[in-house]
Amino acid sequence: MKDWNGKDIGIVVSKVGVIVLANPNANLITNGVEAWPPSEIVQKLYQSRQERTFADDQQEMLNKFLEYYSDLQSIDSEDAISWGVFGTISPAETTIRNRRINDFLT
């Protein structure tokens, strides 16, 4: 699968068809955030209870980056989506932040 930059990324598909990314950072927009990962992301990087929905032979790829599965790896993660829309706005300069907010509201 390719990410929004056209770069190949590793994926795993759960038993119920949910697509997750092997690398949780591939599901998060990081540009403009100097201290990575920020506390807003760190608090969401806990081990998910959904790991049981993946086949045993998928566990190695699923756990490759964090040594466990985090919900932030799911392309359906509301937290990852919210971060992508709003998380990178807060550390931006005021003019950039205002422009992004205005663009979003428009």
Range of the domain at 79: 11-105
**CA dist 39 → 13, 33, 87 (Å):** 28, 11, 11
Show the beta-strand stretches assigned E in 1-106: 11-13, 19-21
Give the chain's residues under pLDDT 70: 32
Task: Please measure the distance between the N-terminal and C-terminal CA atoms of the chain and give it in whole angstroms.
Answer: 31
Position 6 in a domain? no
pLDDT at 3: 85
Position 1 in a domain? no
pLDDT at 23: 93
Position 88 in a domain? yes
pLDDT tens, 67-78? 999 999 999 999
Position 16 in a domain? yes
Position 100 in a domain? yes
User: What is the distance between the alpha carbons of residues 93 and 15, in angstroms, rounded to a whole number?
Assistant: 43
Position 57 in a domain? yes
Total of domains in the chain: 1
Position 50 in a domain? yes
pLDDT at 32: 66
pLDDT at 84: 83
Position 3 in a domain? no
Secondary structure of residue 74 in the 3-state scheme: strand
